[in-house]
Structure 1
Amino acid sequence: MDYERVLLVKPTVSVFLNIPSSGGGRGHRADHWDLTKPSWVGRIRLCTYGPKCVIKLEEKTSGELFAECPVDSYPSTTIDPVIDSSRYFVVKIVNGMEHAFVGMGFDDRADSFDLRVTLQEHFRQIQKELEIKQEEDCPIPSKDYSLKEGQSIRIEFKGFKKTTTDEDTTKQEPVKVGTAVKMSGGMILPPPTAKKITTPQQVQSQPKSIPAPLISSDNKTQAKPDEDPFQVDSGSAWVKF
């Protein structure tokens, strides 16, 4: 059993009976009706019973049903807007096996707009629920994106240079010592030539040597220009500490 759900209520709506035909299928025109003398004035309620939607025309005070219009979709021939106004419609009222097309309209354009939007939202929601149900009944099989045996994938990133391989390295000529290397940012000076540095521990571990006296032709002791400046004169020999 489906419960009644009220989507919209408007306190005033006018109904026009015995409206002229649409005139060759071009559409109904409200200016062909006597808008100053409606056949009936009451309230309108838009109700749903599950997926079904019904427009109910009721008495304002007693709530007695005057007529009802089942709506299967929107827009449809069940409720058709006129071509010369946004406030009036032609609706199909049903009483058992009998039906008739009557005019219906609002004094305020905002009431007409609310009715249109509510009908659109209702049937859009019905369509969405139907699509979800179809997906649950017939789920779409998921695709297999895994790599099969023997397959490989290659991804290239823009802005990254190609990595140099071992084969490319062997083809490059060796850089000579003392040669400036050209890089993307400019020239880079070669590193200084490595020199062997003697630490104080290595100096102390080396045996002290006392060289032979250096006697010049005039019997005076002279030191070589390249001797260590930390040598002292002992009279007949240079002693290295």
Structure 2
Amino acid sequence: MNALSDEIESVLFISREVMVYQVPPRTSSSGYKAADWNVESFVWKGRLRVMEVGDRCELRLEDGSTGELFAQVNYASPWTQVEPVLDSSRYFVLRVEGEGGKRASVGMGFQERGDAFDFNVALQSASKRSNPSSESNQASGPPKPVAPPKDYSLKEGQTFTIKIPGREGKRAGGGGSGGPSLLGEGGGGGGMFALPPPPPPGRRG
């Protein structure tokens, strides 16, 4: 039996439509800007659920119709795996980890500012429950993001496969693919569901 199956799961937040983007290398040590992305062309579109599982928090990017897992972030501390961009309140950078410890930074965007606000509230709530002593430090808002020691942005033409431990073989009748993947070539989204570009730098969206 898998011990994880006995853990209680609760939904902290759900957004039925988020977009995932290829993120170019950061141009500033202070953080990312959505204006540097091609926000009119996303690589994936689906549902986001923020789950509390036992004593941890998981961000799950899933197919909105089938529930198939596309990528997952294990959220441990504020603004480490999730980083807000500098020029918009609707866009974030997620740091996902795949098979063999490979890491990648991907962009995520919300259609509505209200969803982005509720997403922040859910993460702060999860952080306070897992680390009550940090509550006073979080009252003034998230700290300024710092540059990671390495640039994990997906390069053009690079393929990144994400496999979540303990989840393989759980879906009956799967028959198709070998596991969720993130393609860094910009395919699969296109301008069909194009987002309006974020406001210019210096003005929050």
Task: Report the TM-score when normalising by structure 1.
Answer: 0.51
Q: CA deviation at 1:127?
A: 2.4
Map of 2:56 onto structure 1? 52
DSSP 3-state at the match of 1:84: coil
Task: Report the residue type matching 1:34 in the other structure.
Answer: N
Task: Report the residue type matching 2:126 in the other structure.
Answer: H
Map of 1:9 onto structure 2? 14
Alignment partners' CA distance in 1, 2:21 and 2:134: 36
Task: Report the residue type matching 1:3 in the other structure.
Answer: I
Map of 1:70 onto structure 2? 74
Alignment partners' CA distance in 1, 2:28 and 2:90: 22
Map of 2:115 onto structure 1? 111
Alignment partners' CA distance in 2, 1:113 and 1:20: 25
CA contact (8 A) 2:12 2:52 kept: yes
Alignment partners' CA distance in 1, 2:114 and 2:81: 21
Alignment of 1:134-173 (within 5 A): none
Q: Flag structure 2 segments of 5+ consecutive residues without an equivalent.
A: 1-5, 136-205
DSSP 3-state at the match of 1:13: strand
Alignment partners' CA distance in 2, 1:61 and 1:33: 27
DSSP 3-state at the match of 2:131: helix
Q: Tell me: higher relative CO, structure 1 or 2? Use CA pairs within 8 A at least 6 residues apart.
A: 2
Alignment partners' CA distance in 2, 1:111 and 1:130: 24
Q: 1:127 aligns with which of 91, 108, 131?
A: 131
Does residue 35 (structure 1) correspond to residue 34 (structure 2)? The answer is: no
Map of 1:86 onto structure 2? 89
Alignment partners' CA distance in 2, 1:24 and 1:110: 28
Task: Report the residue type matching 1:100 in the other structure.
Answer: A
Alignment partners' CA distance in 1, 2:117 and 2:134: 26
Alignment partners' CA distance in 1, 2:28 and 2:89: 21
Equivalences, count: 129
Alignment of 1:162-201 (within 5 A): none
Task: Report the residue type matching 2:10 in the other structure.
Answer: R
**Structure-2 change in CA distance of 1:126 and 1:61 (3 Å):** same
Task: Report the TM-score when normalising by structure 2.
Answer: 0.59
DSSP 3-state at the match of 1:92: strand
DSSP 3-state at the match of 1:111: helix
Task: Report the residue type matching 2:85 in the other structure.
Answer: V
